[in-house]
């Protein structure tokens, strides 16, 4: 978190994260290029550019698959939360690799055309009504354009200019890009393969992404059903469960019948409730933790004091707070939010029991 816009706020974790990302990509390229060279018949060895085209395409698709798995994984298990911390760098790396892939394709297959290389790419195959001969290149171009918009607007400056709602809507288009890439690979590279290994890998990847999102959605629906069935403490207050079951420094997330989700934190014997959405990019505060007296968003490290929802000076972001009470060991939350930045005294375990 920074008072102004900075390109990268480096720390030890970010360096380690990016180092592992680069090392993983280098290993992937080395393994893919090596396997491609060794498996090809001696008389049919592809050129170095063709091998790079295949390796870069596979790397971009694999990286996007991993990116789309991180969100639901973090909701299914807190152990995956650290992987979200630098997901933005993974997205930019994915676009750059996809750009290399597209550039090599244009250079190798259309660079010596009599017409403009990009015009040749889009017009050389007009068989849009054919399944087997569908111009899969157009799907790749559309996916690359979406990834470009996402990478270009990934900086906090654009989040501030566009607003969190529009910014998030733009970046949700990553799912459209992934669908286009699945079609691009299936109608392109897969059809050029004799075996079914590549098709199976692409299909399994898509099924894993879909399965994780379905599992996370079902878990969220179960939480909502539990909230709806929980007894109330009068006046429409919501039951967040037994206070001692909330992990120290962590939160449980309530889904009220109306309005945004609520993160209910426990810090020692104290219970706080704040709006779940971070003011930065709408990150889930309830999936973060309390460190050094502040709630830390798991996405990009933005901080808020649990007692009033305000970021520590000199920062100015703040979130809504909620009234809490403890009855019979259960934490109850008033679903009506207080104005952002409103100080609320915490409920204290033991003292507030009735």
Instruction: Single out the residue of 354, 353, 349, 351 nearest to residue 269, CA to CA.
Output: 349
Residue 17 phi/psi, 5° resolution? -60, -50
Q: Which residue has the tokens 């009470």?
A: 325
Instruction: Single out the residue of 57, 52, 122 nearest to residue 113, CA to CA.
Output: 122
Instruction: Single out the residue of 188, 273, 268, 219 nearest to residue 71, CA to CA.
Output: 219
The confidence score (pLDDT) of residue 8 equals 46
The confidence score (pLDDT) of residue 3 equals 40
| Cα separation of the two ends of the chain | 41
- Per the CB < 8 A criterion, the answer to whether 243 and 329 are in contact is yes
The confidence score (pLDDT) of residue 266 equals 93
To the question of domain 238-348 being in CATH 2.40.50.140, the answer is no
Would you give per-residue pLDDT tens digits along the chain (354 residues)? Answer: 434 434 445 567 677 888 888 999 999 999 988 887 777 766 666 788 889 999 999 999 999 999 999 888 887 887 777 777 668 888 999 999 999 999 999 988 888 877 888 888 888 878 877 777 788 889 999 999 999 999 988 876 776 677 767 878 888 999 999 999 999 999 887 776 666 788 899 999 999 999 999 998 888 777 666 555 555 555 678 888 888 888 899 999 888 877 788 999 999 999 999 999 888 878 889 888 898 899 999 887 889 999 999 998 888 889 999 999 998 888 999 999 999 989 988 999 876 444
The confidence score (pLDDT) of residue 354 equals 44
Tokens of 97: 């690799």
């Amino acid at each position: 978190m920074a008072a102004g816009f900075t390109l990268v706020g480096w720390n030890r974790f970010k360096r380690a994260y990016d180092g592992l990302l680069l090392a993983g990509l280098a290993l992937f390229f080395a393994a893919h290029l090596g396997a491609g060279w060794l498996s090809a018949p001696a008389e049919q060895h592809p050129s170095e550019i063709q091998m790079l085209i295949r390796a870069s395409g596979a790397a971009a698709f694999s990286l996007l698959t991993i990116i789309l798995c991180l969100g639901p994984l973090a909701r299914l298990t807190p152990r995956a939360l650290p992987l979200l911390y630098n997901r933005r760098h993974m997205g930019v790396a994915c676009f750059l690799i996809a750009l290399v892939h597209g550039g090599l394709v244009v250079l190798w297959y259309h660079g010596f055309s009599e017409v403009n290389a990009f015009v040749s790419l889009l017009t050389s195959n007009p068989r849009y009504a054919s399944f087997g001969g569908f111009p899969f290149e157009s799907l790749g171009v559309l996916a690359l354009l979406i990834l470009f918009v996402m990478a270009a607007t990934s900086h906090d400056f654009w989040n501030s200019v566009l607003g969190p709602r529009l910014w998030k809507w733009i970046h949700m288009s990553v799912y459209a890009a992934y669908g286009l890439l699945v079609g691009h690979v299936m109608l392109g590279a897969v059809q050029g393969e004799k075996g079914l290994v590549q098709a199976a890998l692409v299909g399994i990847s898509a099924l894993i992404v879909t399965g994780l999102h379905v599992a996370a959605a079902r878990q969220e629906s179960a939480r909502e059903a539990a909230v709806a069935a929980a007894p109330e403490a009068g006046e429409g207050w919501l039951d967040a469960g037994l206070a001692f079951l909330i992990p120290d420094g962590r939160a449980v997330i309530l889904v009220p019948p109306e309005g945004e989700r609520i993160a209910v934190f426990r810090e020692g014997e104290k219970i706080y409730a704040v709006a779940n959405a971070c003011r930065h990019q709408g990150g889930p505060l309830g999936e973060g933790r309390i460190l050094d007296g502040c709630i830390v968003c798991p996405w990009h490290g933005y901080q808020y004091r649990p007692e009033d929802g305000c970021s520590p000076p000199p920062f100015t972001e703040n979130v809504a707070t909620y009234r809490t009470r403890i009855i019979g060991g259960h934490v109850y939350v008033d679903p009506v939010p207080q104005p952002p930045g409103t100080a609320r005294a915490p409920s204290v375990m033991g003292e507030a029991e009735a």
